[in-house]
């Protein structure tokens, strides 16, 4: 059993409570997913559960963690800095039970994770692995130490579809406790049997959480139905209040008018009217108390929304916008050929998605395409890399990054846009390095929105958005009037956004 008692997490910099009086109990067989918008404290909660000291740098946490005999295994959202320069062998050697594993056991694990048998002993540097290979390596090292509780922070990021299916199998077959954060709606739908929803409502001034033992589809459906019922009841209550108040006002005004015109020669009538006014005022006070218990309009954290592209981004259907050719695709160090004879043609406002196994070179290919397309004068391209830090100035605030003019009117407009993306005033003035992955992604998407781009080059565009914001992001990209070239393993993105899908193999794009 894993239990959390009365946990409150407060952001040290802006003193905002991001989780208040949180209580949770997990038992064997629970597959619990933590959902919520970007910056709501999901990763902070996960870190605190694994090791309270990990959250102390930027958050004050008060609460009790009851572990019993549980052994925790933690997969961080990003590979720790100290592990990036290790070879694979050095990385796996750090597992407590690595040297207790037999060659047969390691071979079975390699087969299950679809990697070469010598992967564990390779001198390849961890940092040079593809995003998906890094996740596989971290998962395997975690499993080597036989944990009973899996704490997984975005395990679905950067892994190919076959590995996503392997991850689903791992979660579903786990006999003990799984607590994970994911933005992959399909993964959540296929695995979770408990939903932990963290929200920031009332313009991020109040924290709220909901824990439900149910699958994701049922939770979303019942939540929507509950909000709809509450909203309808609140509307009915307000309509009834309006009718009652109008009737009350007529009675009050009638008595008040009669009192003001009563003759001094009729004291009995005047006394009766005063008594009646006293009764009317008492009725008014009773109504005020009843109004305090009136059904409130439902408070919920709204999904983000803004538009990508304008009229100038429109492209004629059928017109060839891009023809990209590459004889050989090599690794960044030039030592290995990943694919040959690559050719891609994009016509009009097509939405292209490139898929393929981890390590095949998708991100390397997209970077090469971006380098060429960003330099062309006949199109206006914008690029969103998988690693946001390639483009972001981490020491700048979101406002400073989006505007370097210092013009007051421009900065006010940018703050308005950031507000529509659910940034608080404090978050707008935080260095970008302190923001969550999803908040960083919002900055890059807003930069694209403010540009006049007609071609978007996107590496895993939905990877850091919550399952609640994911549908909005997909709709935005699908309605973009220009062309999109993207990489994604998000099965809903591929289905709802992409008009063509290509698989990158050693022989090129198929």
pLDDT of residue 447 exceeding 70: yes
Q: Quickly state the pLDDT bin for 336 (edges 50, 70, 90).
A: confident
Q: pLDDT, tens digit, for every residue of 289-303?
A: 888 887 776 666 555
Q: What is the pLDDT of residue 459?
A: 94
Instruction: Give residue limits of the domains in the chain.
Output: 2-223, 226-293, 311-509
Ordered alpha helix ranges (H), 160-307: 161-173, 185-191, 216-261, 267-292
pLDDT of residue 75 exceeding 90: yes
Q: What is the pLDDT of residue 202?
A: 67
Q: Which residue has the higher pLDDT, 14 or 138?
A: 138
Q: Looking at the whole model, is its pTM more than 0.85?
A: no
Alpha-carbon span 47 to 207, nearest angstrom = 19
Give every CB contact of residue 148 below 8 A, 6+ residues apart in sequence: 69, 70, 71, 72, 176, 177
Q: Could you give the strand order of the β-sheet that contains 17-26, starting from the edge strand earlier in sequence?
A: 17-26, 2-11, 59-66
Q: pLDDT, tens digit, for every residue of 183-217?
A: 899 999 999 999 999 988 766 678 889 999 999 99
- Determine the average pLDDT of the residues in 380-385: 93
Query: If you search the block for the tokens 């050693």, which residue do you land on?
Result: 506
Residues paired with 124 in a beta bridge = none
% of the chain residues with pLDDT over 90: 51
Q: pLDDT, tens digit, for every residue of 105-148?
A: 999 999 989 889 899 999 999 988 887 888 899 999 999 999 99
- Determine the average pLDDT of the residues in 436-461: 88
Nearest Cα to 473, choosing from 163, 154, 180, 183?
A: 183
Query: If you search the block for the tokens 């109990």, which residue do you land on?
Result: 25
The 8-class DSSP code of residue 469 comes to: T
The 8-class DSSP code of residue 389 comes to: G
CATH architecture assigned to 2-223 = 3-Layer(aba) Sandwich (3.40)
Q: Which residue has the higher pLDDT, 310 or 305?
A: 310
CB 469 within 8 A of CB 437: no
Q: Which helix (H) or strand (E) holds 483?
A: strand 483-487
CB 474 within 8 A of CB 458: no
For domain 311-509, say whether CATH 3.90.1150.10 is its number: no
Same fold flag, 2-223 and 311-509: yes
Q: What is the pLDDT of residue 188?
A: 96
Alpha-carbon span 469 to 422, nearest angstrom = 11
String of DSSP letters for 381-404: EEEE-SSGGGT--TTS-HHHHH--
Alpha-carbon span 453 to 380, nearest angstrom = 5
Average pLDDT value for the chain: 89
Q: What is the pLDDT of residue 301?
A: 52
Q: Which residue has the higher pLDDT, 29 or 37?
A: 29
Q: What is the pLDDT of residue 263?
A: 65
- How are beta strands 31-35 and 149-153 bridged, if at all? unpaired
Distances (CA, A) of 247 to 63, 116, 253: 52, 80, 10
Pick the range with the lowest mean pLDDT from 333-342, 392-401, 463-472.
Answer: 463-472
Q: What is the pLDDT of residue 74?
A: 97
Q: What is the pLDDT of residue 354?
A: 96
pLDDT of residue 350 exceeding 90: yes
Q: Quickly state the pLDDT bin for 62 (edges 50, 70, 90).
A: very high
Q: Quickly state the pLDDT bin for 94 (edges 50, 70, 90).
A: very high
pLDDT of residue 229 exceeding 70: yes
Q: Which helix (H) or strand (E) holds 135?
A: helix 131-144
Structural Rg of the chain based on CA atoms: 29
Alpha-carbon span 487 to 443, nearest angstrom = 19
């Amino acid at each position: 059993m894993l239990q959390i008692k009365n946990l409150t997490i407060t952001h040290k910099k802006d003193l905002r409570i991001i989780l208040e009086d949180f209580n949770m109990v997990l038992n064997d067989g629970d597959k619990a997913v933590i959902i919520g918008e970007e910056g709501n404290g999901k990763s902070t909660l996960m870190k605190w559960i694994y090791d309270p000291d990990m959250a102390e740098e930027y958050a004050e946490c008060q609460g009790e963690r009851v572990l019993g005999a549980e052994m925790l295994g933690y997969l961080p959202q990003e590979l720790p800095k100290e592990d990036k320069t290790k070879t694979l062998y050095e990385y796996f050697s750090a597992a407590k039970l690595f040297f207790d594993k037999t060659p047969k056991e390691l071979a079975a694990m390699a087969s299950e994770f679809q990697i070469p048998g010598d992967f564990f002993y390779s001198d390849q540097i961890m940092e040079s692995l593809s995003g998906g290979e890094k996740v596989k390596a971290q998962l395997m090292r975690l499993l080597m130490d036989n944990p009973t509780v899996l704490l997984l922070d975005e395990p679905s990021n950067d892994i190919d579809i076959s590995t996503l299916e392997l991850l689903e199998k791992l979660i579903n077959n786990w006999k003990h406790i799984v607590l994970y954060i994911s933005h992959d709606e399909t993964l959540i739908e296929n695995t979770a049997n408990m939903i932990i929803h963290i929200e920031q409502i009332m313009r991020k001034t109040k924290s709220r959480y909901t824990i439900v033992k149910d699958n994701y589809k049922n939770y979303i459906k019942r939540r929507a139905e509950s909000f709809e019922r509450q909203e309808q009841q609140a509307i009915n209550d307000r309509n009834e209040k309006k009718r009652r108040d109008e009737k009350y006002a007529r009675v009050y005004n009638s008595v008040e008018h009669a009192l003001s015109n009563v003759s001094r020669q009729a004291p009995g009538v005047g006394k009766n009217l005063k008594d009646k006014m006293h009764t009317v005022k008492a009725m008014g006070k009773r109504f005020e108390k009843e109004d305090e218990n009136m059904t409130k309009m439902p408070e919920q954290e709204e999904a983000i929304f803004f538009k990508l592209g304008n009229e100038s981004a429109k492209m004629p259907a059928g017109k060839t916008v891009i023809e990209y050719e590459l004889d050989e695709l090599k690794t960044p160090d030039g030592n290995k050929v990943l694919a040959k004879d690559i050719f891609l043609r994009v016509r009009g406002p097509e939405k292209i998605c490139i898929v393929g196994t981890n390590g095949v070179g998708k991100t390397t290919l997209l970077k090469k395409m971006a380098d060429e397309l960003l330099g062309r004068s006949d199109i206006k391209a914008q690029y969103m890399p998988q690693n946001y830090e390639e483009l972001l100035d981490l020491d700048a605030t979101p406002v400073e990054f989006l505007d370097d003019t210092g013009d007051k009117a421009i900065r006010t407009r940018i703050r308005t846009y950031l507000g529509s993306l659910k940034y608080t005033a404090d978050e707008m003035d935080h260095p970008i390095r302190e923001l969550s992955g999803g908040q960083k992604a919002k900055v890059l998407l807003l930069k694209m929105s403010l540009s006049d781009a007609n071609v978007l080059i996107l590496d895993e565009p939905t990877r850091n958005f919550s399952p609640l914001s994911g549908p909005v992001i997909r709709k935005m990209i699908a309605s973009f009037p220009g062309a999109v070239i993207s990489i994604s393993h998000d099965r809903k993105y591929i289905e709802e956004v992409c008009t063509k899908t290509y698989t990158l193999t050693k022989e090129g794009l198929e």
